[in-house]
Chain A
Amino acid sequence: MGVSVQIRGLKGSVSPLFTHLFSVQIFRDCSGNTHAEKTYSFIDLGTLTIWCHCLILQTPIPRVVGEIGRRIQTTGEKTYFRMTTNISKDLLMLMLERMWRIRHFELKLTEMYNAGEVGGVHLYIGQEAVAVGACAALKDSDYIAGNHRSHGHPIAKGANLKKAMAEIFGRIDGYCKGKGGSMHLADFSVGILGESGIVASSVPVATGAALASKLEGKDFVSAVFFGDGASNQGACHESMNLASVWDLPVLFICENNQYAVTTSYKDTVAVEHISDRAQAYNMPGILVDGQDAIAMYEATAQAVERARNGEGPTLIEALTYRFEDHSLGLEKIRKSEYREESEIDEWRLRDPLDLLTKSIVDSGTATPAECDAVSANAHAEVEEAAEFARNSPFPDESELYKDMFASDMPVV
């Protein structure tokens, strides 16, 4: 018995070797060329769904860029795979640290929101692996730009938690002196071009930064995080086309958390995968498991390498899930009204922090106790940041007219 599967333009098949062991062979592309042929073993395969690893760069001629590695988790009917990796312990632990910073930061915000201390914010919980995995493949000198769900990106790039928290409190010690707030949590000192509340607006901005890199003959790249909703905006498409025409060093990282507020991408995107759109712009489109920080790192690292080599942009679709509602403060939009509780529960089983911790522990990179300590440290940092924010003064009225222009202009 063989189960036929189609993997992003490549045809392969699944064959049962015995009851609980299957093999997958990657055979040929559409042109009939053999790219890889190897047997992989999986356990407990129900329906084989291979969409989670940076397996194939979607170019006009599909090609395999990595090999399927070990199974990392089986959940219900889905099985997730990732190619084996050689990431250093330092980088893995840094990724874990930044993911825990984001998680604790937002759990603290939730607590403070419930206590009436802060207003509604857009939570990144559940998506931490996307920004952290991607930023781990970037240098300090590379730029990122983001969106309204703006806490995860700067923290992933290494931003200071105290200033982030103070900004959400609207205090003078915030990154933006209390003028930006939760949707614009941008720390320019770590290479951030802003977080913008207008959906898709950062896409051309990051593309422009990539143009600057090319014009100045520098080697920095820029990466932009945007959602499935943003992927339907015109500015997004204009930017991808231009970036490809000019071979700009930009990474389009679509965080497909599957819902634009309450609207499913399945109802609004004409193709099966957002990464399929890359074909239209003649750039590689990669579908990555957005819950898997290591897969994100690897996919991003490849895209960065292409970009630095002058080979142009890449579209990375990170399939992920927003564990919480669109934003705190939207209690009236109940989860059950637009997504099933069972769906949320299923995705929660693939918590990106659990997955990374498991990878680290299973590979013998670090002990569970070491991982727990990372979480505890991040928690302490967040508590300290909250205290710092509470004690920071509000901006003086004189701040109102500052920062409109470089120099003081007459204000009418």
Chain B
Amino acid sequence: MKTMAFNEAIRTALHEEMQRDESVFVIGEDVATHGGPYKVTDGIAEAFPGRIFETPIAEAGIVGIGVGAAMAGMRPVVELMYLDFVTCAMDEVVNQAAKMRYMTGGQARVPMVIRLPCGIGRLLAAQHSQILESWFMHVPGLQVVVPSTPADAKGLFKTAVRSPDPVMFFEYKRIYTSKGEVPEGDYTIPIGQADVKREGEDATVVAIGPMVQKSLEAAVLLEDDGYDIEVVDPRSLSPLDVDTICESVRKTGRAIVCGEDSTFAGAASEIAAMIGENCFGDLKAPVRRIGSPHVPMPFSSELVKHVVPEKSHVIEAVNQSMAA
């Protein structure tokens, strides 16, 4: 085990995978000299000359070239500087990467990772703070992966690079510098496997991305109220480990689903619906969702406080659930 930051964990995984497999290469804006705005590709250019491509600002071209290179046998790691810029490459993601294998009856393969720095970081307002996980969950053929800890980031990233199919890899900017213990060496985590981050008996909190840490902190505080909270981290939203989530909810009888994305039509809503459908008879209280309101991310720090959910929201929701 080694303590490292979230961005360092991804960088380590990328480094290891590039060392292991010559077909892995990096393509994106400002990825070489600058190491990307969040330093995930820092040092890659020196370690792997000729295998990192700094591009013009051309997201459709970048992702589309990634698709073509993947189809021709490579394993591109595509960095979009901010998730928001994926809107310029939606055709390449949704119509090409996701559908190519199916549309060709299994002839094509598109092993590529699209890295998506997302959510609130510094105050960057509406076009540099989105999450949009559910957009990609909605598209069959894509894997949607959302690590919450440095260890998960490393393990999931290595699996994503090795995956024979496209992976949308969500990296929440606000946890890039969060630190944690990371297993050294060839550590991989299967995509589609949720992780019970804390065991408990009274209520299940299904938490996505940074909400995992906030829920764990909330769970500690809720101990004082005598509540024993289980925290489940789906880790990948598509495929979704419905079994692990539902097993937990059947045990506790209560479910709170939380993410930082908009609650309305967001990932948490899909999970809540699945819980309702599969665990109705076991529920002692209505399933609750926590997320951001359905507004663009504002700039002002005072307004942002009303958008991004915090551990207080988790505590409040658990209390409501327990009181129901």
Contacts and interface: CB of A to CB of B under 8 A. Distances in A.
A201 B103 CA distance: 14
A49 to B, nearest CB: 35
B53 interface: yes
* Leading 8 A-B pairs by shortest Cβ distance: A208-B68, A204-B64, A238-B61, A176-B105, A177-B105, A212-B72, A406-B164, A238-B58
A205 B104 contact: no
B69 A209 contact: yes
B96 interface: yes
9 contacts: A177-B106, A188-B107, A188-B108, A201-B95, A205-B68, A211-B65, A239-B64, A406-B109, A406-B165
Contact of A174 (B105, B140, B239): B105
A226 interface: no
Contacts of A145: 68
A203 B68 CA distance: 9
B92 interface: yes
A320 to B, nearest CB: 25
A142 to B, nearest CB: 11
A239 B102 CA distance: 25
A179 interface: yes
A51 interface: no
Interface string A388-412: 0000000000000011111101111
Interface string A185-202: 011100001101110010
Given A175-B105, A188-B107, A208 B141 contact: no
B101 interface: yes
A208 B70 contact: yes
B51 interface: yes
A297 interface: no
Contacts of A212: 68-69, 72-74
Interface stretch (A240-248, A268-276, A326-334, A337-345): A240-248
A186 B104 contact: yes
Most buried by B among A187, A197, A213, A215: A215
Nearest to A400: B102
Contact of A204 (B60, B108, B164, B238): B60
Interface size class of A (residues with CB under 8 A): 35 or more
A215 B239 contact: no
Nearest to A241: B56
A235 B60 contact: yes
A241 B71 contact: no
Given A204-B68, A205-B64, A208-B72, A180 B105 contact: yes
A180 B107 CA distance: 11
A191 to B, nearest CB: 10
B68 A209 contact: yes
B142 to A, nearest CB: 10
A190 to B, nearest CB: 11
Most buried by B among A175, A204, A403: A204
A194 B64 CA distance: 13
Nearest to B74: A212
A277 interface: no
